[in-house]
Amino acid sequence: MPLPFASPFDCVLVDAPCSGLGTLRRDPDIRWRRRESDLIALAAAELTMLQRAAEIVAPGGRLIYATCSSEPDENEGIADAFLATAPEFRAVNASETTTRLPAAVIDARGHLRTQPHVHRLEAFFGAVFERRP
């Protein structure tokens, strides 16, 4: 199905509807609403959303993928799967996108990552991709 946009965007944010497992401190009931099998369907939907959003990113533009999940299947797994299917994109270290992100929230792969036991925040994840010109 063609997208309803006439021209591409310089920046697209996919704030993916995920398991929400990174918000257990704030929403402890989520542990009773989620099953391990939910992650498979959620990850598939998240990857599809990211791939569809990539279609409207302009050359040289950025695509940002964010979740409130602590699960690798929804975070690095999706980032890696996306890059494997989208050779026209490259990963960008989140610290290169702004000077406002403290180094403490950038992981070894250049993703934004907060962890409750380290940062006293909910578990959030962010990956930045750039479409090659």
**pLDDT tens, per residue, the chain with 133 residues:** 566 666 799 999 999 999 999 888 888 888 888 888 899 999 999 999 999 999 999 999 999 999 999 999 999 999 999 999 999 999 999 999 988 999 999 999 999 999 988 888 899 999 999 999 9
d(CA 133, CA 65): 20
| Residue-level length of the chain | 133
Q: Where are the domains of the chain?
A: 9-131
Extract the tokens encoding 37: 């099998």
Q: What is the residue whose two structure tokens read 């999706």?
A: 78
CATH code assigned to 9-131: 3.40.50.150
Catalytic residue annotation: 68
